[in-house]
Structure 1
Amino acid sequence: MFVVGADLTRLSCDDVLVPTDRSLRVARGWRPLLPPELVVDEQAEGDCIDLSWADGERVLEVPGSGLRRAWLVDTVDDRGRGLPWLLEGVREALAAVACREVVEPVHGRARRLVGLPALGTGWGGAAGQRGAGGAAGQRGALLRELLPVLREAADEHGFDVALVLRGPSDLAAAQRVRRGQESGWDLPGHLRELAEQLGERARRGQLALFIGAGVSAAAGLPTWEQLVDELAGRSGLDDALRAGLSRLPPQDSAALLARELGSEKLEAFVAERFGPGPYALAHALIADLPVQEFVTTNYDPLVELAATDIGRQVKVLPCDEAEPGAPWLLKLHGDAAHPESVVLTREEYLQFGNTGAALAGVLHSLLLTRHVLFVGTSMLDDDLIRIAHQVRTALQTQGSGTARRTGTVLALREDPARARLWEQDVETVAMGAGDDSPAEAARRLEVLLDLIGCLSTPPTGYLLDPAYRGMLNEEEQALAQALGGVVDALPEDAASTAALEVAGLLRRLGHGGSAGEGDDRPVDAATRSRDDRPQEQRPG
């Protein structure tokens, strides 16, 4: 069972639970999950769906033939039946999902993935609306009861469940509940210890991420070999030449195909194939981490899309201008949004070695000043090898010939020779064990990222959110009350540096809640602001 900050309409999964009421009214934000022909009446508070309930029914499967199936769930408690009624509806919905046969999970996952929002937190559900009065302050009670139900259903039905939240305070509260429950991660001891170490580094602002092609493969994007094969299919080469491509190094295969296709067709292909689309669970888990610096050799925009969906405005280098305190993502080999920048062929790799020194220097800096977590890469890229060698040389202690490790590689399978090759530079940790399939190893990687995210999420992100007042202990309640005076004293049009710093601190502590975020009504991530800097990187 995963907890992740994301937009459920853009998360790649097999099944999605969509909240509704007895009139089959659905919030406008869920429209991307529903066939357009089913919407029969558009209203200010939501759209009516052309389906009907049977007597006593609370779950409806939405007709469709795509990779993702939507399920309508009645979550609006207009009779005061309370939290037990809502939780029973969640159990009923997940049991119905389990009855649908799925031959192969989306994009080859080891298990099918079922996504749902915090059901019952919008439109007056069992947990109540944000604000004063009624059931306010009891969203923490919902999370405490909901999370075990989701975990039990995942165990019973053999699929994965992702609770998808949109607001920082919602995510912080959920992670606090999970830390207190001490269960939910099926990981061996050494991976739990690794998660604790990496979580601590992330909290202290000492962790950076390197993201390889394996992460985007989980969203259906091609690996290098698959990319060459797809380009070959468009090239018009005869069978003999196509067969010969497999005997060439990948960059040389790409060079031949680029020459056959021409730069215009190649750039159009890159822009189309690696453009915006649904992102994988791993993208969302990575984007959630309290990390400021990311580097990738991928061309796609999926990490930055996942970050934007939780209110993190990531600057993409080198095209964007970095801003103090803002997270950034360096695209080392180019960006599909600028296909002319993509490094693909042997010639382009050689040119990068000569002209990409400034970009490589950023990764040099991170390896020297941070602990870099490598995810989804086999560490075979020539540029990575060259950069690691240069950093190793710089770090060697004069006369001793030794150097410290600068990162951790999360590999899918054990490869003792490659681990020994890189042991001077990084620690290599395999996700797979024994006869585990690549898909099972990739799933264990997701579980590890989920645990790192849980352990690294600041535990105070909901302190000033009235929806979670019920989670505060006596000391925290006193602090929240004292900080409420600061909120009252802060001018709405504050513009001074001091006032903006205080406002940023209050937001990080949950002031303003999430304005509807994280509940069962999607909102526009662009309307939010968030300061995710780890404590050591914040002014003051």
Structure 2
Amino acid sequence: MSGHVFVVGADLTRLVCDDVLVPTGRSLRVAGSWRDLLPDDLVTDEDAEGVCVDLAWSGAERVVEVPGTGDPRVWLLDTVDDCGRGLDWLLDGAREALAAVARREVGEPVHGRARRLVGLPALGTGWGGAAGRRGDLLQQLLPVLRDAAAEHGFDVALVLRGPSDLAAAQRIRRGTAGWDLPDPLRALAEQLGERARRGQLALFIGAGVSAAAGLPTWEQLLDELAGRSGLDGDLRAGLSQLPPQDSAALLARELGRERLEEFVQERFGPGPYALAHALIADLPVQEFVTTNYDPLVELAAADIGRELSVLPYDEAQPGRPWLLKLHGDAAHPASVVLTREEYLQLGDSRAALAGVLHSLLLTRHVLFVGTSMLDDDLIRIAHQVRSAVNGPGREPRHRSGTVLALREDPARSRLWEQDVETVAMSRGDTPAAEAARRLEVLLDLIGCLSTPPTGYLLDPAYRGMLDEEERGLAEALQAVAARVPEGSATTSAAGEVAGLLRRLGHGRSAGRRDDRPGEEWSGDGPADAATEPCDDRLQQQRPG
């Protein structure tokens, strides 16, 4: 069964994957930004130029597996083309690496995902074989990745960090049939993508999203707390007979508030984020709400340069996206909502927070992801909004949101039909993991359709992708850019124009060296390439 190719903005050192391809050269030096993926005992030297790895090539091979037993498994790929072999050579290396990954046997993908996820950057776009040819690379690399996903059956995440790169890759993908989704889900993606482009979409993120990063669902959290509580067997068995908030209240009493807060802070602290976190953070959405305690959405957003204000702890800034933590934040453990008493405070000290979600349901279309819609707060808020808008003599309103559910549940859909549309990812006996993967594919399509198609227009690395009309427009805008004062702080008008030009890609490629694990910096520096002949480098067996 064919795999899927995702395009996502993220940091590959923090994205949950089964395998990661890391670019290097014949000297087996990698950029320092990849250091967290390398075992300490393999690092022979570290400096400002990168990290040397104590491995060896076998003859002219271009792929070497980094020993280890943890996740992700790391593969080093030679992408430094100092002999002018061109893009075909680089693409052959990608095929070789993906074939090597496929030969590794995997019992179960990480965190129960339906399929293995292989992550890689835009190979060779730093000092590698595609330097300065990012547009050409993406146009040719994406079909190679799709072929590998189809042949080997795993999923591939092409991970990018630059806005130009994401915009260009999504433009290329819009003309392909790369999404294995039924027609109703494709139509839904088009609707939600259009809402996102127009600034009409907001996101609600539930615990199901963070489960893909290895964090517990509500039921699993109670089990973990019970294991720490010291309750005897009869009492632990009785917990399952209580409503969840009452079970939490009993466990909080047994553990004590201090121990409970310490557990939450440790269990839900910073860590690797799931593919769904990155796909959500990439969407052109300004308002996010979550009942999760973890910081994974804001970490994923920060890794692509989107700094979220986390409410109510940060001050909201004009024009800056924000994330409301409705049930508290692990970084502020005293704020965490867990017990029934704390839930009841929604109408008291937390009423202002609930009011934010009220406002979104009245003024935006809210996309609910990873929630069962059984949370008492959501039920209360939806009822209050319904009561406010459906008074006597008023015209019926459009539903204020869409719930992406893993399984079809006609009764729950009927229960919520006045407020939201519920769309199931699967029917019948489809495994939950496969339904969750389909949800990721749907989010990937929404992201593709909602990404503005102009983010690379003024980026010289993508000039080859422009048609005649776009090249004429780009030349005219470059002339405008030359007239904008340096620093763009002279007048408010100049600042507005400079901001628009930046959004169109102006100034992004100048002096850029791709040394972050979402783009790519390939191993060796120019001095190495200039002083070592090609044939000698092929014989090199150890890092310098």
Q: Please give the range of the TM-score, normalised by the shorter of the 2 chains.
A: over 0.9
What's the CA shift string for 1:189-246, capped at 9, x where partnerless? 0000000000000000000000000000000000000000000111111111111111
Q: Which amino acid aligns with 2:222?
A: V
1:109–1:218 CA contact under 8 A, matched in 2: yes
How big is the shift at 1:43? 3.8
C-alpha contact 2:33 2:515 (8 A) present in aligned 1: no
1:407 correspondence with 2:405: no
8 A Cα contact 2:9 2:518, kept in partner: no
Equivalent residue, structure 2, for 1:21: 25
Equivalent residue in structure 2 for 1:500, among 495, 498, 507? 495
Q: For residue 397 of structure 1, report the CA deviation from its aligned partner.
A: 5.2
Change in CA separation of 1:74 and 1:148 when aligned onto 2, cut-off 3 Å: same
SS at match of 1:252: helix
| Alpha-carbon separation, structure 2, partners of 1:219 and 1:514 | 33
Answering whether residue 123 of structure 2 is matched by residue 119 of structure 1, we say: yes
Query: Is 1:155 the counterpart of 2:150 in the alignment?
Result: yes
Secondary structure of residue in 1 paired with 2:156: strand
SS at match of 2:348: helix
The amino acid of 1:83's aligned partner reads L
Could you tell me how far apart the structure 2 residues matched to 1:399 and 1:232 are? 51
What is the TM-score normalised by the length of structure 1? 0.93
Tell me the distance in 2 between the aligned counterparts of 1:469 and 1:66. Answer: 41
2:31 maps to a residue whose letter is A
For each residue in 1:384-409, what CA deviation from the matched residue of structure 2 results, as whole angstroms up to 9, or x when unmatched?
00110111111215336844200000
Q: Which residue of 2 aligns with 1:345?
A: 339
Match status 1:91 vs 2:95:
yes
Q: Which moved more, 1:426-435 or 1:411-420?
A: 426-435
Once the 2 structures are TM-superposed, how far is the Cα of residue 293 of structure 1 from its aligned partner?
0.3
Is 1:60 aligned with 2:64? yes
Matched, 1:298 2:292: yes
The secondary structure found in structure 2 opposite 1:294 is strand
Q: How does 1:13-412 map to 2 (within 5 A)?
A: 13-123=17-127, 125-129=128-132, 138-180=133-175, 182-396=176-390, 398-399=392-393, 402-412=396-406
SS at 2:324 equivalent = strand
Aligned to 1:538: none
Alignment of 1:503-522 (within 5 A): 503-513=498-508, 519=514, 521-522=516-517
* Alignment partner of 1:469 is 2:463: yes
Whole-angstrom distance in 2 between the partners of 1:518 and 1:160: 28
Match of 2:414 among 412, 420, 441: 420
The gaps in structure 2 that reach 5 residues or longer are: 520-544
Contact 1:118/1:520 (8 A) holds in 2? no
Of stretches 423-432 and 37-46 in structure 1, the one that deviates more from structure 2 is 37-46
Sort the Cα spacing of 1:328 and 1:304 in 2 relative to 1 into closer, same or farther, 3 A: same
Deviates more, 1:36-45 or 1:244-253: 36-45
* 1:261-287: CA deviation from partner (whole Å, max 9, x where unpaired): 111111010000000000000000000
The more displaced of 346-355 and 466-475 is 346-355
Looking at structure 2, the residues matched to 408 and 516 of structure 1 have their Cα atoms a distance apart, in angstroms, of 43
Inter-partner Cα distance in structure 2 for 1:102 and 1:308: 31
1:2 lines up with 2:6 in the alignment: yes
Identical amino acids, percent of aligned pairs? 81
Structure 1 CA distance for aligned equivalents of residues 197 and 454 of structure 2 = 12
Q: Name the CA distance, whole Å, in 1 between partners of 2:274 and 2:122.
A: 20
Between 413-422 and 496-505, report the one with greater CA deviation. Answer: 496-505
1:448-492 deviations in Å (ceiling 9; x for gaps): 000000000000000110000001111111111111122222222
Mapped to 2, the partners of 1:516 and 1:18 lie a distance apart of: 22
Secondary structure of 2:129's counterpart equals: coil
**TM-score with structure 2 length normalisation?**
0.92
Given that 1:516 and 1:523 are in contact with CA atoms closer than 8 Å, whether structure 2 keeps it comes out as no
Q: How many residues align?
A: 515
How far did 1:493 drift? 2.9
SS at match of 1:355: coil
Alpha-carbon contact 2:207-2:370 (below 8 Å) kept? yes
Contact kept, 8 Å, 2:79 with 2:124, in 1: the verdict is yes
List alignment gaps of at least 5 residues for structure 1: 130-137, 525-540
CA contact (8 A) 1:119 1:520 kept: no
What is the root-mean-square deviation in Å for CA atoms of aligned residues?
A: 1.6
Q: Work out which of the residue numbers 477, 483, 490 in structure 2 matches 1:483.
A: 477
Cα drift, residue 15 of structure 1? 0.3
Q: Matches of 2:504 and 2:148 in 1, distance apart?
A: 32
Aligned-pair CA distance for 1:42: 2.1
Q: Secondary structure at the match of 1:80?
A: coil
Higher relative contact order (CA 8 A, sep 6+): 2
Cα distance in 2 for partners of 1:523, 1:212 equals 26
CA change 1:385–1:523 in 2 (3 A) is closer
> Partner of 2:526 in structure 1?
none
User: Which residue identity does 2:177 align to in structure 1?
Assistant: S
Matched position secondary structure for 1:37: helix
1:153-203: CA deviation from partner (whole Å, max 9, x where unpaired): 0111111000000100100000000012x2111000000000000000000
478-487 vs 459-468, which deviates more?
478-487
- How far 1:67 moved relative to its partner? 2.1
CA distance in 2, matches of 1:448, 1:516: 36
Post-superposition offset of 1:39: 1.2
Aligned residue identity for 1:287: A
CA change 1:517–1:154 in 2 (3 A) is farther
